[in-house]
Structure 1
Amino acid sequence: MHVGAHVSVAGGVDNAVQRQLDVGGNCGQIFTTSPQVWQEPEIEDDEVDRFVDGSVESSVGPWVIHSAYLVNLATPKADLQEKSRSSMQAELDAADRLGIDFVNVHLGAHTGAGVEGGLDNAAEIIDSLDIPDDVTLLIESDAGSGTKLGGEFEHLAGVIDRTNADIEVCLDTAHAFAAGYDLSTSDAVEQSLGEFDDVVGFDKLSYVHLNDSKHDCGTNKDEHAHIGEGEIGEAGMRAFINHDAIRDVPLVLETPTENGKSYEWNIDRVQELRD
């Protein structure tokens, strides 16, 4: 079972390996820079060597880089398109250097271009990227508020259909739940994942952000909760984690640190729920 957490790279990207081990994870996610600013990764060669060696020696992986929050693939604005493209290329290149398999990104908001226009914009940026052979770009499902794309599985499939690149998907359980895909019972999980398979395909599912939700299904509110203690709940999380289509997919947690519980507690909880 591959389960881990989003960990900090403070002091050097290589520190992420030990931080992952400290919380009991064996795969994981990182930002290469602050996600709130336009800044390209600045990673020294010795950091790269220590990250790669540490990951191999500790059997930690696969890793995924999460792109900056400022990236908006769906935007119709030329200046934001170029900044987004440049940022994504830098993340893909960093992943290649670090031996990281995946780079994850949200589609962003179409801000008036419409769903079809936004999906066209996203595909155009993706097709302009030079994606390294050993790196896969993942499009993440979204909670679906406002003009943001990715809340509907059809949006994910729409970008896959439009692009010439071999992109895949990261499914966020809290986002999907907030967007209206119920995951709170065994039957609901079966139905929602069945819809995902029909629209996108399990063959395109390469990573999962495993998060419970503080808000009800269909509210479009993105606020994560501890595993089994949110509105998805223990029964839903157990059913999801043990679904045949999920069992071999790496799971990374973005759960909060509150009420005396952090990543270590949540990783232990996931392992307890796995049959």
Structure 2
Amino acid sequence: MLRVGAHASIAGGVHNAVDEQTEYAGNCGQIFSHSPQVWQDPNIDPDNAAQFRDASAEHGVGPWVIHSSYLVNLCTPKDDLRRKSIDSMQAEVDAADLLDIEYVNVHLGAHTGAGVDGGLDNAASALDELDVPDGVTVLIESDAGSGTKLGGQFEHLATVRERTSLDVEFCLDTAHAFAAGYDVSTPEGVAETVAEFDDVVGLDDLACIHLNDSKHECGTNKDEHAHVGEGLIGEDGMRALINHEELRDVPLVLETPTEDGKGFEWNVERVRELRDDE
């Protein structure tokens, strides 16, 4: 069954995200538990949490993903930022437990001078400090790889998994992978990229795909998303991703823009149009 949805707002209460998702005709999705631009703990009312759980079950919406704050940097060598990042992630996995959300998604962050190996070590040891509730899994997201940010190479993801004691899984962002140099604009490129991901990381641990097209060329490390099939990955690449036999059961979460009169509802429908059996 095709699982596709989009990032939804929790404005007015986290339960409202379910109604928004159904308006997009989505059946899975992603939320922020608070503003991603500030250091802030989730402020989720228990009654709203119960409404979220009940509505998700009633409408068959799931899995859900909580996306961590943009400020979190697991790779940092700076003690204060490291502590804030760990505390923020702990609050996120606890919020996921309250909401019966399966996944918390996080970028590795930037090593800012610690070096690639040092940054990956920092990320692994930061993950080791989390007390993750049963039923919640931390997902490490692939990155566009600009500056000293890590996660652009599949080897970075595999290395962190090897070095941490936490059972982690992964989220592959198609626009990020494209920006990092994995050319998924053709069926052949998709096949090669998926095979490489399987060889280096393992498809068994791929829990979610952020399905985004890209406004920038492959390998530019520029992260700017486009509507499905209308960016430089294009329709051929998107169709190949959506229909790849090894990816067909992986939930697709859209982080596409709202512009040109098109939003999440348009993009969810576009995914369904590109799916062979829909």
TM-score by length of 1: 1.00
Aligned residue number for residue 88 of structure 1: 89
CA distance in structure 2 between the aligned counterparts of 1:149 and 1:156, rounded to whole angstroms: 9
Alignment partner, residue 198 of structure 2: 197
Give the distance between the partners of 1:238 and 1:185, measured in 2 at CA.
9
CA deviations on 1:24-76 (whole Å, 9 max, x unpaired) are 10000000000000000011110011000000000000000000000000000
**2:34 alignment partner, SS class:** coil
TM-score (norm 2): 0.98
Q: Counterpart in 2 of 1:54?
A: 55
Runs (5+) with no aligned partner, structure 1: none
Give the CA deviation at 1:204. 1.0
Could you tell me how far 1:169 is from its partner in structure 2? 0.3
Q: 1:147 matched to which residue of 2?
A: 148
Instruction: Please say if 1:20 is aligned against 2:12.
Output: no
Counterpart of 1:188, as a letter, is G
Q: Whole-Å Cα distance in 2 between the matches of residues 153 and 73 of structure 1?
A: 17
User: Which residue number corresponds to residue 266 of structure 1?
Assistant: 267
Residue number in structure 1 paired with 2:3: 2
Match of 2:43? Answer: 42
Identity among equivalent positions (%) equals 70
After superposition, what is the alpha-carbon deviation per residue over 1:124-158, rounded to whole angstroms, capped at 9, x for unaligned? Answer: 11000001110000000000000000000000001
2:176 maps to what in 1?
Answer: 175
C-alpha displacement of 1:245: 1.3
Distance 1:91 1:188 in 2: 35
1:153 maps to amino acid: F
* Letter in structure 2 aligned against 1:26: N
- Indicate the residue corresponding to 2:70 in structure 1: 69
Q: Which residue of 2 aligns with 1:107?
A: 108
For 2:161, the aligned partner's letter is I
Give the counterpart letter for 1:196 in structure 2: F
Counterpart AA for 2:201: V
**Deviation of residue 198 (structure 1)?**
0.7
Amino acid at match of 1:247: R
How far did residue 177 of structure 1 move? 0.2
- State the distance in 2 between where 1:7 and 1:70 align: 20
For 1:264 and 1:227, how far apart are their aligned partners in 2? 11
Q: Following the alignment from structure 1 to structure 2, what is the Cα–Cα distance between the partners of residues 240 and 48? A: 34
DSSP-derived class of the 2:14 partner: coil
Shift of 1:244: 1.1
Aligned residues: 275
Give CA deviations for 1:183-225 in whole Å, capped at 9, x if unaligned.
0000000011111111001011000000000000000000000
Unaligned regions of 5+ residues in structure 2, if any? none
How many Å separate the matches in 2 of 1:245 and 1:164?
Answer: 27
> 1-side partners of 2:47 and 2:134: how far apart?
23
2:159 is paired with a residue whose SS is: helix
